[in-house]
Amino acid sequence: MTELISIAIVGPLVAAACSLALRSRPFLRDLAVLAGLGSAALASHIMLVAVARDGTHTVAVGGWAPELGIVLVADLFAALILPVALTIIFVVEIFAIGQRRTVWAANPELSGPLLCVLTAGVSLAFLTGDLFTLFVAFELILVSSYVLLTHQGNRDQVRSGMTYVVMNLLASTLFLLGVAFVYSATSTVNMALLAERIPQLDTGVRLGIGAWFLVVFGTKAAVFPLFSWLPDSYPTAPTTITAVFAGLLTKVGIYSMIRFHNLTAMDDLGPLMLMVAATTMVVGVLGALAQSDVKRILSFHVISQIGYMLMGLSLFTVAGVAGSILFLIHHMPVKAVLFLVGGLIENHEGSSSLDRSGGLARRQPLVAVMFAIPALSLAGIPPFSGFVAKLAVISAAIDRGGTVVVVVAALVAGGLTLLSMSKIWNEVFWGRPTEGPRPSPAPTRGQRTMHTATAIAVAGTLMVALFAGTLLDLSTEAAESLRNPATYIEAVRP
Amino acid sequence: MNGALLLAVGGLTAVGLYLVTGRSLSRIVLGYSLLGHATVVALIAAGGPAGRPPIAGQAEPEAMANPLPQALTLTAIVISFGLTLFLLALARRQRTITGDDLVEDDLEDRRIAAPDSLPGEQENQAAT
């Protein structure tokens, strides 16, 4: 078990170093990247099986006591989310290899190693058991994301990269100040000890800390009104990079919020968070309706969907948190697939702008199907995974009562999501093909790789729908242990 | 808690935030490094009173300063140092492209916000 946790974090880092050293040998370089990402993904799947069977496992790094050193905690919540995240990165890297010869591709010499570093950061963020290591993991993710976003150095990327970098640097600074506040209030940064000590603080100090971290994690997760950096920056990066960012980065923010605010019992912030969630859902989807580019529409949907995850969490009930966890599991692959399909549209149409594409369904029926399934899932149409996840969140809200406004907002946002998805469908897949010069698409072999990777990812989203019952049971179990942190504390400090 | 340290944190944060909200990237870099200093001082202040260097054998454990915030601070300094460099590189790139280092508006946002270029109207114009 200790080995599995180490492989998930160290494996990608080793792969990053190897692929940098092998950067003049394309085949070996890609092999190193795929091996690093693949081994981490495999380790995380085995970890899920082991944790579901034997319960939480902790590693005290360097053998230090939890008050002093770093602990890594593989509890059910972490073990449930980690395989989804790492598998997505692996599939996206396969897609990136297929996309390589086109004008939209990322520079493989840089993007491979950086993707590995980002993966290590994601693993660390999910597995860490203390607040400061969470900060380091965020920085690991963000630093590689800054470079991935701006590495081609064209005008749009530098412009939007500036907003992205400055906004996230500010959030990181606030995070660190928050760590200082928490340390001076409780003399620890270990999550298990915080779960014991923060509920005993004065109400003012306790809620101050909770609200402070709501802002910090909220900026990372792009909730209203802290989302302005996201729709500007995501569409300018190469598709594969946007797919990873949209699938994972904001979700790491939500994950941290679910963990921190539940372990430290910030239930009193619930009403405020519910309001933020409702506004995020509606504002995000309204922003999407105004856009006329596939990647920009999808970026606004990232924001809107964050609202649902925040909504489940803000209920602070087992069913609500379980709904949020299930929504995370559903949303990460669906969002990544939609961006991959956006990449396929770019490849076949020469642009992801709605005005410059049309009639793709006739020429590429497979691409149309691969768009339709995750798009319907995103809008929450049965029998896809989005329906199950939304049902879990909304029924938890109805069970708790007093949440009429947020339930209505969730249903309205769902309808509007369907509307903007049908807008993409009408403009890109139906209608007449537009005329005009198109940059040459990827060679046939590259296209086949891209199609296969996307098809695997679509199959993955269908698996989430197929095993929704099992996943909801596991999510409920994870939510129970987050709501009652006794087992978590027990595991970290035997 | 030490009042002078708190005052330093407050002052550095205020000036840093003011600079970061500007449009010029070189000001933002300065503001970010001031904010970095503020967090470092805050972490040190959170560690309790000053004391002897926390090295085994050189002082009694009771007289030592708390070493944990110092370790955290060191990590934070390294990260903020690297990111300051990255910001400077970005500012330099922006200068090469546009001739200045000001943060620009998003053109796509402008286009969508402008009333004469709504997608529906474009189609109408194309039809007529």
Residues A232, B98: C-beta atoms closer than 8 Å: no
> Given a cut of 50, is residue A368 above it in pLDDT?
yes
Q: What is the mean pLDDT of chain A?
A: 88
Calculate the dihedral angle through the C-alpha atoms of A457, A460, A462, A466, rounding to the nearest 10 degrees: 180
> Given a cut of 50, is residue A334 above it in pLDDT?
yes
Distance CA B17, CA A84 (A): 38
Distance CA A232, CA A180 (A): 31
Residue of A nearest to B76 (CA): A176
Model confidence pLDDT, tens digit, residues B10-64: 999 999 999 988 888 888 899 999 999 999 999 988 888 888 888 888 888 888 8
Whole-number percent of chain A with pLDDT over 90: 36
Residues A158, B90: C-beta atoms closer than 8 Å: yes
A316 three-state secondary structure:
coil
Identify the DSSP state of A66.
Answer: T
**Distance, in angstroms, between B106 CA and closest chain A CA?**
7
Residues A173, B45: C-beta atoms closer than 8 Å: no
- A59: enclosing H helix or E strand: strand A57-60
> Given a cut of 50, is residue B125 above it in pLDDT?
no
Residues of chain A with Cβ-Cβ distance to B119 below 8 Å are 292, 354-355
Residue of A nearest to B37 (CA): A173
CA distances from A338 to A145, A250, B119 (A): 20, 16, 22
Residues A183, B86: C-beta atoms closer than 8 Å: no
For residue A83, whether the previous peptide bond is cis, meaning omega lies within 30 degrees of 0, is no
Residues A232, B109: C-beta atoms closer than 8 Å: yes
Q: Per DSSP, which regions of A93-228 are E strands? A: none
Distance CA A248, CA A118 (A): 10
pTM of structure? 0.90
Encoding tokens for residue B31? 């503001």
Helical H runs in chain B? 3-20, 25-46, 67-98, 107-113, 119-127
Question: pLDDT at position B119, please?
Answer: 52
Q: Do A159 and B103 contact (CB within 8 A), yes or no?
A: yes
Q: Do A318 and A354 contact (CB within 8 A), yes or no?
A: no
Pick the residue with more confidence: A9 or A431? A9
Q: Which domain holds residue A452?
A: 2-434+441-492
Question: pLDDT at position A440, please?
Answer: 64
Identify the DSSP state of A382.
Answer: T
Could you give phi then psi for residue B66, rounded to 5 degrees? -70, 115
Residue of B nearest to A184 (CA): B46
Q: Do A159 and B106 contact (CB within 8 A), yes or no?
A: yes
Question: pLDDT at position A475, please?
Answer: 93
Residues A173, B32: C-beta atoms closer than 8 Å: yes
Residues of chain A with Cβ-Cβ distance to B43 below 8 Å are 176, 179-180, 183
Could you give phi then psi for residue A57, rounded to 5 degrees? -125, 135
Listed in sequence order, the residues at least 6 apart from A159 whose beta carbon sits closer than 8 Å to its beta carbon are A236, B94, B103, B104, B106
Q: How confident is the model at residue A478 (pLDDT cuts 50, 70, 90)?
A: very high
Q: What is the mean pLDDT of chain B?
A: 81
Q: Do A57 and A15 contact (CB within 8 A), yes or no?
A: no
Interface of A with B (CB under 8 A): 68, 132, 136, 139, 143, 146-147, 150, 153, 155, 158-163, 165-166, 169-170, 172-173, 176-177, 179-181, 183-184, 189, 232, 290-293, 296, 354-355
Write the CATH number for B89: 1.10.287
Q: How many CB atoms lie within 10 A of CB B48?
A: 16
Specify the residue for token string 């939609």.
A338
Distance CA A341, CA A367 (A): 7
Residues B42, A159: C-beta atoms closer than 8 Å: no
**Span A366-379, average pLDDT:** 89
Residues A150, B93: C-beta atoms closer than 8 Å: yes
Quote the number of domains for chain A.
1
CB burial class (10 A; 0-12, 13-18, 19+) of residue B37? middle
> Given a cut of 60, is residue B117 above it in pLDDT?
no
A353 three-state secondary structure:
strand
Q: Which domain holds residue B48?
A: 3-127
Quote the number of domains for chain B.
1
